Amino acid sequence: DQQVKQNSPSLSVQEGRISILNCDYTNSMFDYFLWYKKYPAEGPTFLISISSIKDKNEDGRFTVFLNKSAKHLSLHIVPSQPGDSAVYFCAAREYGNKLVFGAGTILRVKS
């Protein structure tokens, strides 16, 4: 009963192109959605978030889109850089600031 799903275990993109990471959720009570980035042997670090009352949030090369009716969000990275290669976790917030994480997508940006 995974409430947050990242159906693509991995994604490979050429440097300079767009990376699109997808995430689906089932719980309509989530009020905030976040993306975390994780390098090997490090903890996840916060990347960008979006409130459930918005449909887009942009921060530099990173944009998160939220489609509430489809219970879907996506992270766009453009242009992709080799340093973006990492595992990206989608997370959704429910009560008590509890975050529910997806399984992660490994992004490889090839130069």
Partner 1 sequence: DTAVSQTPKYLVTQMGNDKSIKCEQNLGHDTMYWYKQDSKKFLKIMFSYNNKELIINETVPNRFSPKSPDKAHLNLHINSLELGDSAVYFCASSQDRTSRVGFGNTGELFFGEGSRLTVL
Under the rule (CB under 8 A), what is the footprint of partner 1? 2, 31-32, 34, 36, 41-46, 49, 51-53, 87, 89, 91, 93, 95-104
> Least distance from C-beta 86 to partner 1, angstroms?
13
> Least distance from C-beta 42 to partner 1, angstroms?
6
Burial 30-48 (b: 16+ CB within 10 A, else e): beebbbbbbeeeeebeebb
CA angle 24, 29, 32 (to 5 degrees): 70
- Give 70's contacts (C-beta < 8 A, 6+ positions apart): 24
Pick 41 or 70: Cβ nearer partner 1: 41
Pick 15 or 94: Cβ nearer partner 1: 94
Pick 2 or 14: Cβ nearer partner 1: 2
Pick 18 or 58: Cβ nearer partner 1: 58
